[in-house]
Structure 1
C-alpha cells in the first residue's frame, strides 16, 4: 500500500533496505574507525574496522545477488562514460539516473576497493604491531609498525573519496532538484 501511495506521488522504490542500512552503518563505522585511533581506544578502532570489512564483503556479495539497482551490472560503466558523466554533472547537463549514475557507480567501486584496502592494511598492522587479530604472528612487530604509514595513507585516500562522494551528492541533488540523502533513508526517488 505504501508503494501505491508513493507511486501515485510520482516516486518509485529504488534503494532496498540492505543498501540503505549498509550505507548508513558504513558511515558510522568508518567515522568511528577514522576518528578513534589512539592507543587507549584501539579496541573500538579495531572493531569498527572489522565492521567495515564485514560490510564491504556483504555489499560485494549483494552487488551480485541483490535487487536490480543494487547490482554491479546496473551501475558499473566504462571509465570514459563515468568521466563524461562527472564532466556533464559539473556543467549542469548530466542525464538523471534512477539508480546510481555512471559517476556514482565509479565512486562506489572506488570506495569499496579503498575501504577493503584500509581494512586489509589495518589487519596487517594489528597482526604485526600488536600481535593480535586474525593475522597475529604472521608479521613481525617491526613490519607491522612500518606498515602503519601505508594504512594511514590508504585511510586518508578513502576519506578524500568520501568527501568527494558527499560533494557529488550535494551537487547532483541541486542539479536534479532531488534530495538524494533522503532517498537513501526512505528508499524512494522521483520517477524518471
Structure 2
C-alpha cells in the first residue's frame, strides 16, 4: 500500500484569517475576562461589530472562497452534504461546507445582535431596561454555545475529512490527506 500525495488548496485569504482570530479574541475577552458595562467591554463589542460588517462586505467583494456565493447554504447543498456525511463519505468543500456556512451565518448574526443590543443599552431609550439587558445576555450565551459547537465541529470534521481545519484557519491552506491505496 502507498499513500496518495495530499491535496493542497489555498483557501483562506489573510483578511478572512485576521477577521476570524480577531473576532474570536473580542468575543472571548468580552465573555470571559472583561466585566459587562466597562468601557473596554463596549469597545470590544464595537470592534467585533465592525469586524463582522467588514466581513459582510468581504463576502461580496473578497476572494473566491470568502464570497457568500461560494458557500451559501441552500437547502439542496445542506441536504446533499448531510446525506454524504451520514453515508460515511467525506464531502470535500474547499471553502465552508454547507453546515459550516450555516454556523458562520448564525455566529455573525449573533454578533450583530449583540452589537445592536449593547449599543441600545447606552441610549436614553434603553438605559437600564431589563429586557434589553436580558436579551443581550441570552445572545451572548448563545454565541458562546455556538462558538463552542463550531470549534468542536471543526475538530470532528478535521478527523472525518482528513483536513486540519484549525491549521487551515491559521495558514490559509487546506491540506487534504488522501486515503491509502493498495498496489
Shift in Å at residue 123 of structure 1?
1.0
Higher helix proportion, which one? 1
Query: Are 1:30 and 2:27 an aligned pair?
Result: yes
Q: 1:57 to 1:91 in 2, by over 3 A?
A: same
Shift in Å at residue 85 of structure 1?
2.7
Structure 1, unmatched stretches of 5+, are: 1-7, 128-135
Root mean square deviation, CA, Å: 2.2
Q: Which residue of 1 aligns with 2:48?
A: 52
How does 1:11-90 map onto structure 2 within 5 Å? 11-38=8-35, 42-79=38-75, 81-82=77-78, 85-86=81-82, 88-89=84-85
Counterpart CA distance in 1 for 2:56 and 2:40 is 24
Q: What is the TM-score when the length of structure 2 is the normalising length?
A: 0.85
> 1:89 touches 1:172 (CA, 8 Å); kept in 2?
no
Shift in Å at residue 88 of structure 1?
4.4
Q: What is the TM-score when the length of structure 1 is the normalising length?
A: 0.81
Q: Report the count of equivalent residues.
A: 173
Q: Which residue of 1 aligns with 2:95?
A: 99
Q: 1:91 to 1:122 in 2, by over 3 A?
A: farther
**Per the alignment, in what secondary structure is the counterpart of residue 32 of structure 1?**
helix
Counterpart CA distance in 2 for 1:163 and 1:11 is 27
Superimposed CA distance per residue, residues 151-182 of structure 1 (whole angstroms, 9 cap, x where no aligned partner): 00011111111011111101110011111111
Q: Which has the bigger relative contact order, CA under 8 A and spacing at least 6?
A: 2
Superimposed CA distance per residue, residues 8-36 of structure 1 (whole angstroms, 9 cap, x where no aligned partner): 97422111000000000010001111124
Superimposed CA distance per residue, residues 111-157 of structure 1 (whole angstroms, 9 cap, x where no aligned partner): 111111111111112x1xxxxxxxx33x14342x4310010001111
Q: Which residue of 2 aligns with 1:121?
A: 117
